[in-house]
Every structure is written in structure tokens, then in C-alpha cells.
Amino acid sequence: MELDTILNLMSSWDLTADELLFIYLVFISRDEEYNHKEFYDKWLVNGGQKRVKEIYESLKNKKIILKDNSFDKLDPNEIEFNSIFLNKWIKVSGIMGAELYDNYPKFIYIGDKKCSLRNFTKRYNDLTDLYFSYSLQIGHNYEKHKKIMELLNWAKQNNKIHYGIVEFILSHKWEELEEERKENPYGDVNSTFNIYETA
């Protein structure tokens, strides 16, 4: 997130830096496939456990978090956020665009030539622009994003991505992928997924 976005969130919801960090760690821990719960766990071990109850109660009083939880084993997936806050966070944080970018194939080989699939500089000023553009294209809809990520994984496994990330976003290529998967749900038998460098 850009500093302006962080400051706007803090101002709009009267968040402290500790509360914002806690929320961020919760969100990056929640995704089933791409979660980074190790950062949340590291925060707990390095002093967060002493503050988690205080932070949680403060967020509940601000109506950002909606229900009580056990603090012995506070599972990020069980934390229920106010839908207005959740929608605002998804819209401004760039988390969906970042997840798309991180999981989009880096390269494709055409013969002996290595071609980038993540080049975005002819269309966007920086990654933040790309993240917001993607979020805007899908109406800031997290459920739609999860479906697109499933389609992207299917497409990578079946050698269906032959275009850059900018075209994927602006041309809504996930719609074509959805049609292809309906016609061939099990994918290609002779997949050449290894032509991609995704790490």
C-alpha cells in the first residue's frame, strides 16, 4: 500500500499503527492458497501476544471487528470484519492486484527467445496503478478475484497463458479461460507447464 492510502485508512477509521499492522497481518494470513501466516505468527511471538487482546477489543469498539474471539488461539480466519471496512480495505489496499501479479507467470519461451509476461510499463506507471486497474476491472469484488485466481492456476497448469498481464487485465482474459475450462475441465493431457518460470 502507498503511504497516502495507509494514512487515509488510519484517518478514516481512527486506526493506530499497531491496529493497522494487526489488520494487515490478519488479511495476509487468511487466504487458503497464498497465505503468509508465518508473519502473523512471528508478530505474536515477538510481543504481539501481549497486545493482541487490547488491539482486538479496540477494533471491536470501533466496529471494525464484529464479534468476540478466544485469545488463546486467535485464528485469523475466524475474525469477522465489518463489511463496509472490508470493502474499503479490498478496494484501496491493492491486495488482489498484488496476488494476481505474484502468481502470474513471469516468462514464456517462444523457440529460444525468453519473453516477459509481467511487463506492465507501457500501460501503467507502477505496480500500484496495475493493482488498482485490476481491482477496478473486477468491481473490487473479492469473490470474483478468487474465482479468477482459480482460473489462472488452471490456465498455468494447462499452458493457456500466452499473453502479458496487461492484456489479461484489460481484455478480461479470465472470461475466455472460463469458457475454455467449461469445454475442457480436465485440461490438456500433454501440458507444457514447465515452459513458465513462476518462482
> Domain residue spans in the chain?
3-92, 95-195
Q: What would the DSSP string read from start to end of 31-64? A: -TTT--HHHHHHHIIIIIHHHHHHHHHHHHHTTS
The neighbouring-strand residues paired with 116 are 107
What is the tens place of the pLDDT at every residue in 86-126?
A: 888 888 888 889 999 999 999 988 888 889 999 999 999 99
Residue 154 has φ and ψ, to the nearest 5°, of -60, -45
What is the tens place of the pLDDT at every residue in 5-15?
A: 788 889 989 99
Q: What angle do CA 28, 31, 35 make, to 5 degrees?
A: 55
pTM: 0.69
The C-alpha cell at 61 is: 469498539
